[in-house]
Every structure is written in structure tokens, then in C-alpha cells.
Structure 1
Amino acid sequence: MPDIIGVIGGGQLARMMIPPAVALGLDLQVLAETDESSARLAAVRVGDYRDADTVSSFADTVDVVTFDHEHVPQPILRNLMARGVAVHPHPEALLYAQDKILMRQKLSKLGLPVPEWARVSSPEQLADFLSAHGGRGVLKTARGGYDGKGVRMVTDAAEASDWFAALAEDGNGGELLVEERVDFRRELAQLIARRPSGESATWAVVETVQKNGVCAEVLAPAPGSEGRLAETAAEIATRVADGLGVTGVLAVEMFETTDERILINELAMRPHNSGHWTIEGSVTSQFEQHLRAVSDLPLGATDLRSPYTVMINVLGGPSAGTMEDLYPEVLGQYPSAKVHSYGKQPRPGRKVGHVTVTGDTLDETAYLARAAASLFDR
């Protein structure tokens, strides 16, 4: 069993790994981007995750390297592996969360359900795809996009002229990913954790609600997901995790289409916003499970603690002061709400925390969670 877990990235995901690391007797150490990172309580070093020397020297002080995000360059990670450093998830798997075109290629090769897609490097190619798909599509940058960034709904190739100009200026033959505009009933997310030995465990499939491209709410379990839908979502996530050789937590974001198909939208190989509800709502949280998995410890039970759990993101936060300034009022009015602050300064659209409520009925649970979270938005 490793003693020291090194996390590259000092965001809220690393921050929420700290309590379960303490409970498991693990020393969690973080390579943070700044002194003010969310996970500063465990930050032992501040530096650039894109700098090979910084990452290498950090890795020398820990037993296992894992991540708060997927953006560490492949050459740096492969160098760590070549030196015998334990890296989870492996670079060979993480690659498919870093590059959306490679992800679509791999998932298609594995026979997994994805939207119709193509790689395009010119306005003419994009125009051809749009013409064949009802004059509309979803255009994505292959790398770097998150929370709606790097994604455009397009009906004309001219709407992406700046992206194609940037590709031409770069001169490296880059491509964009274009997909069919899926008519979906709702968005779902299925989390799974997998050990290096191959043992895996899934949680209940959840419904996610987006606001301006950012996750705003998570309903666990997804309403009406009992039976075949839950089985299908878990089966897809298991096939992805096994097919890519993922270790740690994997989030598979999905569309439930209007014609009752399940299509894979995105992948994240780390704890994910759609799994924050598991802290209060599951026997084992995604953060504890991730640490177990990357340490190759037996995985924990994922049963629901309550019939329903609703998680609401606090986006932006109060216009004056911090979330903590409002704790007395929020906790006093809603004693069943669990509030999580990410230690960030409020800023429009920024994820600064979340609120979770568990309960016996979905309507009441959602009402309390939304009402508590709304007090931070003023």
C-alpha cells in the first residue's frame, strides 16, 4: 500500500480528496498552480504542471501520481512512467480524455455508442458535414475544452472561421471535431471506479442539468432510471473503463436521446462534478474511491444512503464577501443542507462551492437544495 499520494493540480477536486485521505491514513500531497489554489491545505509545492522538471521533482517525493485535471502533457507523463513512477490513470488511458478526436476514434473502434462525427480541418469539410446532417452540428476543439469552453453550435461553416484561421496559423495540421446535433431528452452521467487489478464499482446513474454549458444540478439517481436504463449506463461505463484500461474514477457523460438511445458525450478520468453528490449520498464517495483505486486497495460499497440526493453548484457566489460569510444564515435556515466551499473568491460563472441535500422524495430534496444554494447567489 502506498503511503504518499501525489495529486497534480490544486483545484476543488484535490481539495475534496483531503478528508478521505486522512481517513485512509494516506499522506496527500498536491502540486498546486498558485499559493491560493483550492487545495492549498495539502499543497507541498507550487509550480507549472507543463514543466517537466517541476513535475518530475514532485513525482520523486510521492508513491503514486494522480490528477485533479487531465491537462498534464503526454511527454511528461510518459517520462514518469519510463522512470518507474506509478501514474494513475496511465498516460495511455488519459490520452483519450485529453483529445476528443482520439476519444471518438477509440470509442467507435470499441463499438460503443457515440454521436455521428468527423474530423475537419477546413470550412469546406465542415460545410459538407453540416449539409449531410440537417444543416447543424456541434463543433469542438480537440483539446483543452471544459465547462462549455471550446464548443460551438454551428449552422454555417463561416461561424468557425476564426478557429480554422487559428489552425492555419499554427501550421501543425490541426483538426477540429464536428458531431451531429443530438436531439436529447436529458443528460446523464455514469461514474465508475477501477483498480489496476481490474476490479470495478459503479454508482447510480445520475441526471445532470447544465446552465450556460456548466453543470448546475445533479439528481441522484436519475429519475426513472431503474431497470434497463441503469443497466445500460453501467454496462457502457464498464466497457469504456475496461477498453481504455482506466484506473481511478471515470465519469462517462451521456445523452439520453428522444428516440431512447444512450450516446457517450464526454469522458473525465478523475473525480467529476457529477459525482460530488456521493460525499453525502453514497456509502463510499468518489473521492475516497479514487484514492482506493489508485492505491490498488479494495473498492468500497456504492449503495445509496438515501432514496434521493440532489447537488446544486454555487456558480459565481455572493456579490460581496465570501461563501463563508453567509454560512450562519444558510445553515440556520436549512440544517439538512451540506455546504462545501472551494476556498475560491467569487466571480461570475465560477464554481465556488456546492450544496447537497439527501431525502426520501425527489421534489422536497431538490427544493431544499435549490433554496439553500440560492442564498449564496446575491
Structure 2
Amino acid sequence: MGMTVGVVGGGQLARMMIAPAVELGVGIRVLAESDGMAAALAATAVGDYRDVDTVLAFAREVDVVTFDHEHVPQPVLRALVEAGVAVHPGPDALRFAQDKLVMRARLAELGAPQPDWAAVADETDLRAFLDDHGGRAVVKTPRGGYDGKGVRVVSDAAEAADWFASWDGPLLVEELVPFTRELAQQVARRPSGEVVAYPVAETVQRDGVCAEVIAPAPRAGEKLMEVAARLGVSIAEGLGVTGMLAVELFETADERILVNELAMRPHNSGHWTQDGAVTSQFEQHLRAVLDLPLGAPDPLAEWSVMVNILGGPADAGLTDRFADAMAEHPTAKVHTYGKDPRPGRKVGHVNAVGDDLEDVVYEARAAAGFFA
């Protein structure tokens, strides 16, 4: 096709865009933060994504700039746009993923269902919110948190004293939602407006990190699937997202769904699409940011299960374990990220698909178990 995508960020999400780029006949270049990152295969530059000149120089070599994380500062994003670079998602959309207070305010304007929340400037504000919400709440730093970082459950305002002392500006506080499970809705939108929604998936979190995903979400009736898809599409359109959008949701006992977090890029909760959908989220993201026709999001089997592989203290015998997992579970697909393992670090995932949920869950968990 003669087009080239530039990905800012050299992590596993950029790495997993490489294969679909090759298949689409699209060039892919990566601005990695350092040498030896997961996406080193396509890293044509290494540099600081916070430096305007570095990012502008990288952008001159590509047709569109996209991201494998949301941390590129707004002044850098604005400089790209002013220089005539196609940036997807753009700065106006990304600010909602970069600042949770801005996101909450915009979602309220859109009428999206979400937990009760407030911006709190000090312990007095937080104490008042706690008093109104049963004495417990979730405090978040508005910027910079991911995988459980920058999030605390508190029952006393003093438990956030250090954040109030060090954080510039108000913190976000949210009601502690008594959810029955967490869901994720993936949506793709291209600049010319076409939008597609994947089936809503169930996500299982452990210690603030996504551990497993089942798609479609079990026990999700047509109504829930419709409501989640419609919500995802309305957020993508209302926030002007281009590319993939992941809407992380809480489902409550009375079958309401509330928006928890947003990610404007391929997301852990959508990895199942690599082996379980007609179009993977990585191919879809490339199509969307290049404004190409979007692919079908339909599942290839009744069930898809993704299990994350978290790194341990050492890499010893990883190649042997990889071979053992493949030998014992030939229907499971093992995806590795080329990252040095350390405790709790995502170093890969396993996908399994099929028509019997119990079998599919077993295959995915058992194959991932070789890396525990």
C-alpha cells in the first residue's frame, strides 16, 4: 500500500502490530524508549517521546503517528499536529486517556454511566466524600497510573495525605463500586467515521493487573452485549477517538454497567482477538489510524480465553518451557514479548479458542502454567 505507520513506544503492543503490518503491506517504524525493547524488531529510532525534536524527526519518516501508550505529553502531540503530521488518536482525544478527571467530566457530559466521583483538593474534601459514600472510596492520581499504580482504596482521608502533599492539583475520588465482575468493550473508529464493536469480554484482575479474559463474556445476554457495544461506540464518537478504544467496565448485581477506565490503543483485554476474531485488534488499529476500511470483529469460535504470563525472578529454561507448553497444548497459542522477566511483569500471554468453555479455559491456563 506504500503507507508507513510510526508507533511511539516500543512495548509489546507495538511489537504485536508488526505482523499485521507485514500482512497488510504497510510499513511500520517504532520510536523505542531504549534499546532491546519488545518492539526492537521494528525500532528504527530510539529516543525520548517527551522531546519534541526527537518525535518530530521520527514523524517525518512516516505517514501517520500512533502510540503503544498514552504518555506522550500534550505539547509534543500539539507540535506534531501543527507540523502537519497525521496523529491518531489525536491530542484532543488522548487528553481524556491521560487525565482521569478530564475523562470523568467528559463522560458525565456524554451521559455515560459511571461511578460517583469528585475532584478533591485536600483531606477535608476527601473526608466529606467518604462520609457520603459509606466510609470507603477509591482515590486515584489523575495522570500516570496504570496496572493498579496510582490507585488506592481508602477508609480514612489521612491515607491519601502523601499524595495531597506531593501531587500538583486535585486528586480523583470515586465510589467503591460493589461490582460482580469486570468487563471490557473494544471499539475501533477511523477518521472518516466508520466504527465497529467487538463482543464484550469478561476480564479477571489480580493485584491490579489483568490476569485472564474470556470472550464473549459468559452469561452476557443480547441486551448486555448491545448496551456495552452502544456505550463503547458513543464514547469513541463523543471523545473523537481514532484507532482502537478499550472501555473497561464494572457490572453490578442489578446488571448495570459503569465505565471504569479508558485506553486509546490496543489493550490487554483485547489480546484474545489475535486468535479468536476475524480481525485482531492490532490489525484493526492499523486499519483505523490509516483510515482504511475496518475488518469484521466477529469471533471465529464460540469462546476465546486469554491468560497473561507474568515474569518471575529469572529467565532460566524459558526456551524449554516454551517447547514443553507447545508440545502439551498444541491448540493453545503462546505469544511472547521478548522482555526480560521480573516478578509481576507481563512477558507474554496464551490464547485458546473453541466451542467448549471449560476445555478452552483449561488449555489456556495449563499452557500458561508452564511459565509460572
Instruction: Compute the TM-score of the two structures, normalised by the length of structure 2.
Output: 0.98
2:125 is matched by which residue type in structure 1?
Answer: Q
* 1:360 to partner: Cα distance: 0.9
Mark the CA change 1:353 to 1:318 in structure 2 (over 3 Å): closer, same or farther: farther
Partner of residue 45, structure 1: 45
Partner of 1:304, secondary structure, is coil
1:367 aligns with 2:355: no
Q: Which segments of 5 or more consecutive residues in structure 1 lack a partner in the other structure?
A: none
Q: Identify the match of residue 214 of structure 2 among 215, 219, 225.
A: 219
Q: Deviations over 1:158-209 (max 9, x none)?
A: 1111101113xxxx5x110000000001000000000101100111100000
One-letter amino acid of the counterpart of residue 213, structure 1: G
Kindly state the Cα deviation for residue 224 of structure 1 after the two structures are TM-superposed: 1.1
- In the TM superposition, what are the counterparts of 1:126-137 in structure 2 within 5 Å? 126-137=126-137
Q: Could you tell me the percent identity over the aligned residues?
A: 63
Contact 1:337 1:368 in 2 (8 A): yes
CA RMSD of aligned residues (A): 1.0
For the 8 Å contact 2:2–2:27, the answer to whether it is kept is: no
Residues 237-256 of structure 1: pairs in structure 2 closer than 5 A: 237-256=232-251
- Quick one: which amino acid aligns to residue 87 of structure 1? V
- Structure 1 counterpart of 2:231: 236
Read off the aligned partner of 1:254 and give its amino acid letter: L
Contact 1:194 1:246 in 2 (8 A): yes
CA distance in 2, matches of 1:21, 1:226: 35
**1:12 and 1:351 mapped to 2: Cα distance?**
9
For residues 344-355 of structure 1, the aligned pairs below 5 Å read 344-355=339-350
Task: Name the amino acid aligned to 2:285.
Answer: H
Residues in 1 aligned to 2:307 and 2:313: alpha-carbon distance in whole angstroms: 15
Partner of 1:186: 181
- Stretches of structure 2 that go unaligned for 5 or more consecutive residues are none
Structure 2 residue corresponding to 1:258, chosen from 244, 253, 256: 253
Which ranges of 4 or more aligned residues in structure 1 deviate by more than 4 Å? none
For the Cα contact (< 8 Å) 1:324–1:341, is it kept in 2?
no
The residue aligned with 2:60 is: 60
SS of structure 2 residue aligned to 1:38: coil
Name the CA distance, whole Å, in 1 between partners of 2:58 and 2:330: 41
1:166-185 equivalence runs, <5 A: 166-167=166-167, 172=168, 174-185=169-180
Structure 1 position 110, deviation (Å): 0.8
Rounded to whole Å, the distance in 1 between the matches of 2:47 and 2:315 is 30
Which residue of 1 is the match for residue 122 of structure 2?
122
Give the TM-score of the pair, scaled to structure 1: 0.97
Report the alpha carbon displacement of residue 316 of structure 1 after superposing the two structures with TM: 1.7
Give the Cα separation in 2 of the matches to 1:353 and 1:159. Answer: 35
After TM superposition, give the deviation of residue 324 of structure 1 in Å.
Answer: 3.1
- When residues 116 and 80 of structure 1 are mapped into structure 2, their CA distance, relative to the original with a 3 A threshold, is same
Q: 1:151 is matched with which residue?
A: 151
Q: Which residue type is aligned with residue 166 of structure 1?
A: S
CA offsets, 1:246-285, max 9 Å, x none?
1000000000012221000000000000000000000000
